[in-house]
Amino acid sequence: MVKKAILFDLDDTLYDYHYAHSKALDAIYPLLAKYIKISKKKFLALYKMANDEIKNELAGTASSHNRVLYFQRVIEKTHNTVEPKIILKMYKTYWDTFLNNMKIGKGVEQTLKLLQKMKIKIAIVTDLTAHIQLRKIDKLKLTKYVDYLVTSEEAGGEKPNAIIFLLALNKLNILPNEAIMVGDNLVADIEGANSLGIDSVAITNKKIKADKEDYKKPNYIIKTIPEVLDIIKDGEKI
């Protein structure tokens, strides 16, 4: 089946999320330390605790990724009250630093450019809020290559929920077997795509166990984004 579109995950697929996130947390610590005596180790532990709590409480929603909620929870734990100015400053500092440290993955732009020439539509299918993901797309200078953005905020459900993939297919006006989903997460990206009959592509440097459950097995495994081009070309021969 000839493929008409590729659905790309964004974070840790088209750029290194963890590098930017680490830099952002590094910038947050001294800011908080101005207001309260706290070690960096303690701050990181509190942030993780707040992160885990919010994700558990709001699982399956885009709000579960909202950093302002994480920082609000941290301040509630350190100050036992709400401090709007501190929370908002932490939120702004986090995302400003994060965006400034984002670097597009090797070969990503060239790959998107070639896919565009091949008339392959491109959609970003991603969890988190639309506002932040739009800022990331703009920062990475991907706008001219991306036809559609679908976020969990817009869809009302997170990957692997079928609703987010169905919304992407609807925007693209294609059938599941006419698309490929590329992502790094075996549950969110691969399981989600497999459940709808969308060919799944896992981008990872890790070895995937042979006995991995069928519903989490990707159709293809790649280490770099440019390898997607070979998959598309193979599909044209079918």
Model confidence at 238, in pLDDT bands (50, 70, 90)? Answer: very low
DSSP class of residue 43 equals H
Short-list 162, 105, 95, 103, CA closest to 131: 95
CATH fold group of domain 5-15+104-237: Rossmann fold (3.40.50)
In the chain, where are the structural domains located?
5-15+104-237, 17-100
Neighbours of 166 (CB within 10 A): 15
Q: According to the model, what pLDDT value does residue 214 have?
A: 74
The continuous run of DSSP H or E covering 7 comes out as strand 5-8
d(CA 60, CA 175): 25
Active site residues: 9, 11
Q: According to the model, what pLDDT value does residue 237 have?
A: 39
Give pTM, 2 decimals.
Answer: 0.91
Residue 137 has pLDDT above 80, yes or no: yes
Summary mean pLDDT of the chain: 93
Determine the average pLDDT of the residues in 213-235: 88
Determine the average pLDDT of the residues in 216-234: 91
Q: According to the model, what pLDDT value does residue 236 have?
A: 52
- Tell me the per-residue pLDDT of 161-192, one tens digit each, with 9 for 90 and over: 999 999 999 999 999 999 999 999 999 999 99
Model confidence at 110, in pLDDT bands (50, 70, 90)? Answer: very high
